[in-house]
Amino acid sequence: MNAPESTTTRPYLIRALHEWCTDNGFTPYVAVRVDDSVQVPREYVNDGEIVLNVGFDATSSLQLGNDYIEFKARFGGKSRDILVPVGRVVAIYARENGQGMAFPPPVDLLPDALSTSLEEVETVSPEASAPDVARVVQLVATDSVSEDGDKPRPPTTPGASRPSLKLVK
Cα-based torsion angle of the residue sequence 48, 97, 103, 136 in order, rounded to the nearest 10 degrees: 120
Q: Which domain holds residue 12?
A: 3-103
From first to last of its 169 residues, the chain has per-residue pLDDT tens of: 555 677 889 999 999 999 999 999 999 999 999 999 999 999 999 999 999 999 999 999 999 999 999 999 999 999 999 999 999 999 999 999 999 999 998 877 555 544 444 444 444 434 444 444 444 555 555 554 445 545 455 545 555 566 666 666 5
Residue 80 lies inside a defined structural domain of this protein: yes
Residue 69 lies inside a defined structural domain of this protein: yes
The CATH number for 64's domain is 2.30.30.220
Residue 59 lies inside a defined structural domain of this protein: yes
- Does the model's pTM come out above 0.85? no
Q: How many domains does the chain have?
A: 1
Residue 132 lies inside a defined structural domain of this protein: no
Residue 148 lies inside a defined structural domain of this protein: no
Residue 60 lies inside a defined structural domain of this protein: yes
Give every CB contact of residue 93 below 8 A, 6+ residues apart in sequence.
17, 28, 29, 31, 99, 100, 101, 102, 139, 163
